[in-house]
Amino acid sequence: MLEAIKVIGKTLVASPERVREADDDFAVVRQVQGGEVGAFDRVILKYRGRIYGIIYNLTSNREDAADLTQDTFIKAFQSIHRFQGQASFFTWLYRIAINSTLSHIRKNRGRSFFSLEGVNSDEPASREIIAALTDKTGADRDTHVRELQEKLNEAMQKLSINHRTVITLFEIDGLSHQDIAEVMDCSVGTVRSRLHYAKQLLQAELQPYIGK
Amino acid sequence: MRLKRVEQPAPEFWTQFDKELRAKQLTAILEKRRWWHSFPRAYGLVARHPMAMGTAAALVIGLFSVNEFRGNARAPVAASVDDVTYAPSESVAPTHSETAAAIRVSAPVAERPAVPASRMVSVRTSEESFGQELTSMISSRRPSQSLASISSRDETMQIERDERLEAPMGRSLAVINLAAIQAAEPELTRNMLGFSQNFQPAPASDREQITEPLAQMPSPSEERRARLMSEGLPMMASLESAPAPSNDDVMNRLSDNRVYESISRDYDLGANRLSIKF
The more confident residue out of B131 and B218 is B218
pLDDT band of residue B106 (cuts 50, 70, 90) is: very low
Cβ–Cβ below 8 Å for A74 and B24:
yes
Residue of A52, A61, A83, A134 for testing the chain B interface, max B β-carbons within 10 Å: A52
Cβ–Cβ below 8 Å for A120 and B17:
no
Cβ–Cβ below 8 Å for A62 and B9:
yes
Q: Give the whole-number percent of chain A exceeding pLDDT 70.
A: 76
In degrees rounded to 5, what are phi and psi of residue A60?
60, 35
- pLDDT value of residue A12: 45
- pLDDT value of residue B241: 52
Closest-CA residue of chain B to A127: B6
Cβ–Cβ below 8 Å for B10 and A120:
yes
- pLDDT value of residue B202: 52
Whether B43 contacts chain A with CB within 8 A: no
Q: Give the whole-number percent of chain B exceeding pLDDT 70.
A: 33
Which residues of chain B neighbour A156 with C-beta distances below 8 Å?
Answer: 4
Residue of A74, A75, A99 for testing the chain B interface, max B β-carbons within 10 Å: A74
Q: Supply the ipTM of this predicted assembly.
A: 0.73
Closest C-alpha among A116, A120, A173, A121 to residue A149: A116
Residue B111 has pLDDT above 50, yes or no: no
Cβ–Cβ below 8 Å for A74 and B25:
yes
- CB-nearest to B7 from A71, A74, A117 is A117
- pLDDT value of residue A107: 84
- pLDDT value of residue B231: 66
The more confident residue out of A170 and B167 is A170
Residue B103 has pLDDT above 50, yes or no: no
Closest-CA residue of chain B to A76: B25
Q: How far is B62 from chain A (nearest CA, A)?
A: 29
- Look at A3-12, A101-110, A124-133, B252-261 and tell me which has the smallest mean pLDDT: A3-12
Task: Give the span between the Cα atoms of A190 and A184, in whole angstroms.
Answer: 10
- Look at A168-172, B10-14, B167-171 and tell me which has the smallest mean pLDDT: B167-171
Cβ–Cβ below 8 Å for A66 and B17:
yes
Asked if A153 and B3 touch (Cβ cutoff 8 Å), the reply is no
- Which secondary structure element, helix H or strand E, spans residue A125, and what is its range? helix A124-133
For residues A92-108, give the mean pLDDT: 89
For residues B224-244, give the mean pLDDT: 62
The more confident residue out of B150 and A208 is A208
Residue B193 has pLDDT above 50, yes or no: yes
- Identify which of B58-67, B93-102, B173-182 has the greatest average pLDDT: B58-67
Residue type, A99: N
Whether B186 contacts chain A with CB within 8 A: no
- pLDDT value of residue A112: 67
- pLDDT value of residue B89: 47
Residue A191 has pLDDT above 90, yes or no: yes
Closest-CA residue of chain B to A121: B6
- pLDDT value of residue B251: 62
Residue B178 has pLDDT above 60, yes or no: yes
Which residues of chain A neighbour B47 with C-beta distances below 8 Å?
Answer: none
- pLDDT value of residue A32: 86
pLDDT band of residue A124 (cuts 50, 70, 90) is: low
Residues 5-34 in A contacting B (C-alpha not used; CB under 8 Å): none
Q: How far is A21 from chain B (nearest CA, A)?
A: 22
Cβ–Cβ below 8 Å for A125 and B1:
no
Asked if B159 and B123 touch (Cβ cutoff 8 Å), the reply is no
Whether B10 contacts chain A with CB within 8 A: yes
- pLDDT value of residue B222: 80
- pLDDT value of residue A196: 93
- pLDDT value of residue B84: 47
pLDDT tens profile A69-80: 999 999 998 888
Whether A148 contacts chain B with CB within 8 A: yes
DSSP chain B: -HHHHTB---HHHHHHHHHHHHHHHHHHHHSPPPGGGGHHHHHHHHHHSHHHHHHHHHHHHHHHHHHHHHHHHHS-SS--STTEEE---TTS-GGGHHHHHHHHHHS-GGGSPPPPGGG-EEE--SHHHHHHHHHHHHHHT-HHHHHHHHHHHHHT--PPPPGGGGSHHHHHHHHHHHHHHHHH-HHHHHHHHTT-SS--PPPHHHHHH---HHHHSPPHHHHHHHHHHHHH-S----GGGSPPPPHHHHHHHS-HHHHHHHHHHHEEE-SS-EEE--
What pTM does this model have? Answer: 0.48
- Look at A122-126, B63-67, B154-158, B257-261 and tell me which has the smallest mean pLDDT: B154-158
Residue A104 has pLDDT above 80, yes or no: yes
Q: What is the mean pLDDT of chain B?
A: 64
Task: Give the span between the Cα atoms of A173 and B245, in whole angstroms.
Answer: 134
Which residues of chain B neighbour A73 with C-beta distances below 8 Å?
Answer: 21, 25
- CB-nearest to B3 from A49, A53, A148 is A148
- pLDDT value of residue A81: 85
Q: What is the mean pLDDT of chain A?
A: 80
Residue B71 has pLDDT above 80, yes or no: no
Exposure on the CB side of residue B97, measured as CA atoms within 13 A: 15
**For every residue of A45-103, which 3-state class applies, written as one string?**
HHHHHHHHHHHHHHHCEHHHHHHHHHHHHHHHHHCHHHCCCCCCHHHHHHHHHHHHHHH
- Which secondary structure element, helix H or strand E, spans residue A186, and what is its range? none
Whether A161 contacts chain B with CB within 8 A: no
Residue B255 has pLDDT above 80, yes or no: no
Task: Give the span between the Cα atoms of B236 and B39, in whole angstroms.
Answer: 123
Residue A26 has pLDDT above 50, yes or no: yes
Residue B159 has pLDDT above 60, yes or no: no
Residues 93-122 in A contacting B (C-alpha not used; CB under 8 Å): 116-120
The more confident residue out of A16 and A61 is A61
Which residues of chain A neighbour B10 with C-beta distances below 8 Å?
Answer: 118, 120
- CB-nearest to B28 from A78, A133, A145 is A78
- Which secondary structure element, helix H or strand E, spans residue A4, and what is its range? helix A2-13
Whether B14 contacts chain A with CB within 8 A: yes
Cβ–Cβ below 8 Å for B7 and A149:
yes
- pLDDT value of residue A194: 93
